[in-house]
Amino acid sequence: RMKLKSIKNCLVMAFFLFHLLFVFDNCQPNSLLEQPPRYAFLITLDTLRADYVSVYSQAKAKTPTLEEFARQGVSLDLAYSPIPITAPAHATIFYSLPPHQLKLYNNGQIFKPGEKDNSPLISLSQIFQRRKYSTAAFVSLGVLKAKFGLRIGFDFYEDRFPPDRWYLTAEEVNQKFFTWLDNFSGNKAFIWLHYSDPHDPYAPPHTMDDVELTINQKEKKRFCLRKMEPFQLNFKANQGKNVVYIKVLQPHPEGKVRLRLSQIEVKDQDGRKIPFIIHCFDNYEQIDQKFWLIKHEATISFFATGDVSEVNLQAHSDMFWTIEEQRQAYRQEVEYLDAQLKALQEELMARGIWEKSLFILVGDHGEGLGERRTRFGDFHFGHIHFLYDHYLRVPFIISSPLLKQKIRANSQVVSLEDVAPTLLALLGWKRPSFYHGKNIFKTEKSKNYSFVFLETYRPEAVEERFGGLFYPWHLIFTPVRQKVELYHLQEDPEERNNLELAKINAPEVKFLVQKVTETALKILDEKEETILDPKALEILKSLGYIK
């Protein structure tokens, strides 16, 4: 009996030690969490500007769900992406290295992590795998498909899209994630959810149709060209004259041209072209291409002979919106995204997952909304080309019901490079030696600690640009034009007053000039030609990123 009791005591002690080792292996004593999270969520918010998130002051949109996340943690006021391009920005999140060190410069590149300081690079997802977490990713843009390299370290990677679309809505991402959850039987998981609704086209699912076609005064078809739906129609032709009436459902508020058509083709069932006549407001030719301009309505007419039964009408279309219409649509996209984050939150609560989770929510880059002009004089909407504040400042929120107390960040300016080191610090896990970023909860006094290097590259960008942030100083360097811009973000948040370097004696500015120019010239000297995947190149051209 004594022998059995001794064995029993040994088993109890062994179980206790095993449990203790498990806890210390997964969440070290200096962790800021009460217990290890069973679920760690990385939620990336593509193209979301910080000034459209109501967590921050004077926000231009209402995001109550993101406010809820922030109340259960901390929000960083001055968080920046090092690059306004989706794939390199996400690689920086997963590897805590700047794009030029990862040698990932553009969307469409096949990313193959190499080595740094003779050590193989490992992704944040691989670190979770080694800690026995299941790993799953759900992406909403074609430029993040598995073949481009960020799939490393994920047991499951959902990157399927409808055949006629290169993006998913937040609701579609949620549904794919909920379906995966229905079948998940593991004990713990690291989950990456990527939402991209504020990305162009600015068109939440409820966006109304904007063009209507009527065929021979009978059949009607509507399009939402704002959603980039193709201007295409198949119908049965009448013998003789056929008329397609085009109606703009939302005319331009200033009475200007709303719709431009080009590359119009009318073909029969055998692919033979049929001559047509179009009556519209105006037309013009440019570099052997004809354009038709429509304010309110137009007609396309053609004659069908005896052997013509089916007709296909298609054209390339461009809609012209005012700056305020574009900004309003962007705001609606942001608020739609926030509503879907609420749906995510409610589902996690209903499944009993919420209270066991840690969340990192962060943007990958910002967006220009007409504050700048292109080299052709047009108002710029999008990202990639510029390194101004609106293009790079992003929301960054750390949230969890498991936090021991209200936490504060010690860093004034943070970067996407800091996401992985901070997440590992929260868990009490050791960080890889190659990490470039910092734990934002740790106080440092080094100049490099407050410095963020900025970069963007051809062929997606019109020209290569580099920059540096040493808040409140912001420097932008365009080598091909030998142009240097300097702004003081506190005194000039819209960056309209380009300061003369010669008149500024601040040591931070001298540090910025030296650091940015030396790093930029070294990158250009060592950089190889960027090779893009052919299919990705087609998508990028369709988006207007590459001409």
Q: Which residue, chain included where needed, has tokens 């299941």? A: 134
Mean per-residue pLDDT for 250-276? 95
Whether 214 shows a pLDDT value over 50: the answer reads yes
With 60 as the cut, is the pLDDT of residue 138 above it? yes
Q: What is the mean pLDDT of residues 3-20?
A: 42
Mean pLDDT (whole number) for 22-29 = 40
Structure tokens at 167: 């993006």
The matching CATH number, chosen from 2.60.40, 3.40.720, 3.30.230, 1.10.287, for 211-322 is 2.60.40
pLDDT tens, position by position, 65-77 = 999 999 999 999 9
Task: Give CA–CA dist 97/365, Å, rounded.
Answer: 16
- What is the pLDDT, as a whole number, of residue 26? 42
Q: Which two tokens stand for residue 19?
A: 């449990």
Mean of all residue pLDDT scores within the chain: 89
Lowest mean pLDDT among 24-33, 46-55, 409-418: 24-33
The two structure tokens encoding residue 108: 């469409």
The residue-averaged pLDDT of 416-422 equals 97
pLDDT tier for residue 442 given thresholds of 50, 70 and 90 = confident
Percent of the chain with pLDDT over 90: 76
C-alpha to C-alpha distance for 4 and 315, rounded to whole angstroms: 85
Q: What is the mean pLDDT of residues 124-152?
A: 96
Q: What is the pLDDT of residue 29?
A: 44
Q: Architecture of 37-202+324-446 per CATH?
A: 3-Layer(aba) Sandwich (3.40)
Per-residue confidence band for 16, with pLDDT thresholds at 50, 70 and 90: very low
Residue with tokens 């090779």: 531
Cα dihedral value 334, 338, 343, 348, nearest 10:
130
Higher pLDDT: 446 or 194? It is 194
Q: How far, in Å, CA of 112 to CA of 149, rounded?
A: 6
**Lowest-pLDDT range of 102-116, 166-180, 192-206:** 102-116
Tell me how long the chain is.
547
Can you tell me the mean pLDDT for 469-495?
94
- The contacts found for 207-213 with CB under 8 angstroms, 24 or more apart, are 207/329, 207/332, 208/249, 208/250, 209/249, 210/248, 210/249, 210/250, 210/319, 211/246, 211/247, 211/248, 211/249, 211/259, 211/317, 212/246, 212/247, 212/249, 213/244, 213/245, 213/246, 213/247
335 or 544: whose pLDDT is higher? 335
- Kindly state the percentage of the chain with pLDDT values over 70: 88
Supply the pLDDT for residue 544. Answer: 54
Please indicate, yes or no, whether the overall pTM of this predicted structure exceeds 0.85.
Answer: yes
Paired strand residues for 394: 79
pLDDT in tens, 278-318: 999 999 999 889 999 999 999 999 999 888 889 999 999 99
Is the pLDDT reported for residue 25 higher than 80?
no
Q: Lowest-confidence range among 133-147, 388-402, 403-417, 508-522? A: 403-417
